[in-house]
Amino acid sequence: MMIGDSWTQIGSTIAGLMFTLATLQQFFPHQLRLSLQQFVLASLQQFSLVQKLCDKFVNLFSPYIHITFPEYSGYWSNQAFDAIETYVGALSTTKASLLKGSLVQNSKALVLTRDDRKVCDEFNAVQVWWVLEPSPTSSSEDKYFQLIFRRQHRDLITGSYLDHVIEQGKAIQAKNKQRRLYTNNPSENWRSYKKNLWSDIAFESPATFQTIAMDPSKKEEIINDLVSFSKGKEYYMKLGKPWKRGYLLYGPPGTGKSTMIAAMANFLNYDIYDLELTTVKTNTELRKLLAETSSKSIIVIEDIDCSLDVTGERKKGRPKSNEKETEPENEKTSKVTLSGILNFIDGTWSACGTGRIFLSYCSFEAFKILAKNYLDVDSHDLFEKIGILLKETEMTPADVAENLMPKREKKDPDACLNSLIQALEDAKEKAKLKAEKEKNIKINKGKNMKFYAKRLLF
Ligand SMILES: Nc1ncnc2c1ncn2[C@@H]1O[C@H](COP(=O)(O)OP(=O)(O)OP(=O)(O)O)[C@@H](O)[C@H]1O
Ligand SMILES: [Mg+2]
């Protein structure tokens, strides 16, 4: 039995005693009743004093340490408690027989957790116990977690174990959280009392790296880069760099730039902020918008080359060190400048190797991934012919995917692959005709030039 349990017993004995005294008082005269009350109160005060002293004494010699994590700290919910609750809830859910299922707001699926009040955990072969208790000081349903462990493991538990618990708890929360897709509102709609710089909806794209059709080695390079970035918070801090990563995705329409962003968000469990630059009037507005984004998110600027007023760059060069950087005079009406964006990006583009990702027309390697995704085939007699045609003509993965999409409920790989071959041959023919047409235009232009030159000379 734990020490706390014995105090609970003593407490209930005293409560029982008080009740008995209160009942007896009714049979005694007023004066005696008063002294009885004083006696009980004095005894209680002494008891709580003794209890405190005993607690201190017991704690001094107890082989265990207890750390408490209340649900609320002041008016705010305690994020450590939330992370612990998730971590403890997920502890050996697979083995537990008493489970609790919940589908809460912002959660994308039913979450199953252990429904025990006392849970044992092990870290580096050291045992600890988590106990969930109702808060003794609050009349509401507030709770607190108590972590109990042996005194000799103090450093390990208060250091790496608690870091591990919070990190794991947050990671599980992020995984279960329904991710959001944010878009910026025009500044006319911003209200100071309510922060509504961004509107959001649930982000539900099923895109994954597995389904993206591109060169496998390039794909692996990007995945490795994302992994090392997502785990590199301390490394960035050590270097004194902001923990950000910039990628420039470029390529013809339909080659998978947006699909790649969705796959990155799903892979990292990040939210997406789709920044529509044309509605941002000034660099100041841009700063406000970026300040309102949450950490662990992807900020997307679509068609950056079209939305940026590159001519609005700082024309007078960088301000001298004693000069304050001022906004241009017409800042109220001017658009965001390239320097405004680069300030935010903090040079991460130039600092990273794979920062530029080119998404190209469909290669044979990319086609094989699409064929697996859409038709569930790894190889086929028609693959060779398709490989040759893909080398001879340019077709986007979006168009290849469109042709591979089964037209009937039952998948028919032969029909789909033949339909792709037909589309590739059509595209090849079209490209040939276009090239001939352009060649003829050039020849005619040349002839006309010669004709005019002759007329000028004679
Ligand atoms: N590399 C790819 N891998 C898998 N599917 C792709 C790929 N590229 C395109 N697709 C398919 O084509 C559709 C359109 O692609 P996506 O929107 O990603 O192209 P984009 O490069 O962003 O085009 P845009 O420049 O027009 O924005 C996607 O929904 C996806 O189904
Ligand atoms: Mg796109």
Residue nearest to atom 12 of ligand 1 (CA): 398
Residues 167-185: tens digit of each pLDDT: 999 888 878 888 899 999 9
In the CATH scheme, what is the code of domain 182-316+328-358? 3.40.50.300
Ligand 1, atom 17, lies closest to the CA of 258
Q: Using CA atoms, how far apart are residues 382 and 414, in angstroms rounded to an integer?
A: 8
d(CA 15, CA 230): 56
Segment 396-414 mean pLDDT: 86
CA distances from 104 to 178, 205, 269 (A): 10, 21, 18
For residue 294, report the distance from its CA to the centre of ligand 1, in Å. 27
Amino acid residing at 36:
L
In this model, does residue 413 exceed pLDDT 80? yes
State which of 8-17, 84-93, 150-159, 323-332 shows the largest mean pLDDT: 150-159
pLDDT of residue 95: 56
Q: Is the pLDDT of residue 26 over 80?
A: no
Q: Is the pLDDT at 17 greater than 80, yes or no?
A: no
**pLDDT beyond 50 at 1:** no
Cα 87-228-353 angle, rounded to 5 deg? 160
For the segment 317-338, what is each residue's pLDDT rounded down to a tens digit?
334 444 444 444 444 444 677 7
Q: Each residue of 217-269: pLDDT tens digit?
A: 999 999 999 999 988 888 888 888 888 888 889 999 999 999 999 999 999 98
Mean pLDDT of 414-419: 93
The percentage of residues in the chain with a pLDDT greater than 70, rounded to a whole number, is: 68
pLDDT greater at residue 291 or residue 162: 162
Q: Label residue 251 left, alpha or beta by phi (over 0 means left) and psi (-120 to 50 means alpha).
A: left
Q: List C-alpha distances in Å: 440 to 113, 444, 453.
A: 72, 6, 20
User: Each residue of 183-224: pLDDT tens digit?
Assistant: 999 888 887 656 689 999 999 899 999 999 999 999 999 999
Which ligand 1 atom is the nearest neighbour of the CA of 261? 18
Give the ligand with the smallest distance to the CA of 358. Answer: 1
Say which ligand is closest to the CA of 249: 1
Does this complex have an ipTM over 0.90? yes
Question: Does 214 sit in the ligand 1 pocket, CB within 6 Å?
Answer: yes
Predicted model pTM: 0.65
> Tens digit of pLDDT for each residue in 291-307?
888 888 999 998 877 76
Task: Please give the pLDDT value at position 2.
Answer: 46
Choose the residue to mutate in 255, 307, 367, 400 for probing ligand 1, maximizing ligand atoms within 8 Å of C-beta: 255
- Alpha-carbon dihedral angle through residues 232, 233, 235, 239, given to the nearest 10 degrees: 130
SS in 3 state form for 417-449?
A: HHHHHHHHHHHHHHHHHHHHHHHHHHHHHHHHH
pLDDT at 334: 47
What pLDDT score was predicted for residue 83?
Answer: 92
Per-residue model confidence (pLDDT) at position 107:
64
Query: Residue 254: CB within 6 Å of ligand 1?
Result: yes
